[in-house]
Amino acid sequence: MSKESQSEFAMLYIQNQGRVYGYIATLIPNRSDAEDILQRTSMVMWQKWDQYDPDRGFVSWARGIALNEIRNFLRRSERKNVHLSEAVVDMLAEQIETSTDPIRAEAFEQCFSKLERKQRSLLEQCYLESMGVKVVADALGTTRDAIYMRLHRIRKSLINCMNHQLSDDNVAQQRV
């Protein structure tokens, strides 16, 4: 790899590392696991830099690699009782990829605001504040499994709500 190519990778990586980590952390609530996945993603990105297509965009390319690393992590973690299935990760990843659409963003905001205060707080602690699930479980006096189950139910509720909000009839009414 040429010096110029190495410099280009380094510049793009530094500019976008936070976005890639944010994507991973949205799908993997455990901070330590998310950081491990970011490291693996970074290594794969470096190894596959010669395959990078600038027309696709760096963040999209990085997210694709990150999603593959998340799937690998989930397969390795099945024996460790991780409660986030690949199907759920794929649904969430799709929601994230399309979240730049203002209608989707508005639907998410509406659905998020419909959650109970406790549910919003749990999501904020696990995702925005990057507290690990174990830390949240300890603070709430419950088990990690219980927190994972709550997160699963909340995410499922959000996805269902967003699907309803974005149904053809509903979107058409919003645009009129």
What average pLDDT does the structure give for the chain? 80
- 19-28, 39-48, 84-93, 108-117: least confident range: 84-93
pLDDT tens digits along 78-125: 655 445 555 566 666 666 665 555 677 677 778 877 888 888 888 777
- In degrees, rounded to 5, the angle at the alpha carbon of residue 64 between the alpha carbons of residues 76 and 134 is 45
Grade residue 169 by pLDDT with cuts at 50, 70 and 90: very low
Q: Is 107 helix (H, G, I), strand (E, B) or coil?
A: helix
Structural domains of the chain in order of their starting residue, each with its CATH number: 1-82 (1.10.1740.10), 98-176 (1.10.10.10)
With a cut of 80, say whether residue 1 has pLDDT above it.
Answer: no
Question: For residue 96, what are the contacts with CB-CB under 8 A and spacing of at least 6?
Answer: 23, 26, 27, 63
- How is residue 160 written in tokens? 């269902």
- pTM assigned to the model: 0.50
Say how many Å lie between the first and final Cα of the chain, rounded.
53
Q: Within 10 Å of residue 47's Cβ, how many Cβ atoms?
A: 10
Q: Which residues lie closer than 8 Å to 119 by C-beta, 6 or more apart?
A: 150, 154, 157
Q: Give the confidence band of 7 by pLDDT, cuts at 50, 70, 90.
A: confident
* Burial class, 83, CB count within 10 angstroms (exposed 0-12 / middle 13-18 / buried 19+): middle
- pLDDT at res. 88: 60
CA distance 126 to 120: 10
